[in-house]
Amino acid sequence: MPHILIVEDEAAIADTLLYALQAEGFATTWVTLAGEALALQERQPADLLILDVGLPDISGFEACKRLRRFSEVPVIFLTARDAEIDRVVGLEIGADDYVVKPF
């Protein structure tokens, strides 16, 4: 069963994602900190990361840069940041897609 790691500090968003993904048969893990997600991805790699940009410990952009040092897992940014430059930066540092909240 494919495993998706959700890195999101807003519980309401995370709950919606968890419900929808689990209903479709995906295994999911939810964490609120990028540092925790990076450590988890090294120990137990997920098949996909859904990553917020505005996280409390480090930005999702920085987390994606660090992730790319050891993993090529697909990354989807899910964020409220809708500026074109943010989309460009997100994709240039290694994300596979960039989705703006609300979705």
State the pLDDT confidence band at 80, using cuts at 50, 70 and 90: very high
Number of structural domains in the chain:
1
Q: Name the average pLDDT for the chain.
A: 97
Residue 77 pairs in a beta bridge with 51, 98
Alpha-carbon span 14 to 30, nearest angstrom: 7
Quote the domain boundaries for residue 86. 3-100
31-79 pLDDT tens trace:
999 999 999 999 999 999 999 999 999 999 999 999 999 999 999 999 9
Check pLDDT > 80 for residue 89: yes
CATH number of the domain where residue 65 is located: 3.40.50.2300
Nearest Cα to 100, choosing from 30, 67, 57, 52? 52
Within a 10 A sphere around the Cβ of 6, how many other Cβ atoms? Answer: 24
Q: What is the pLDDT of residue 17?
A: 97
Check pLDDT > 90 for residue 95: yes
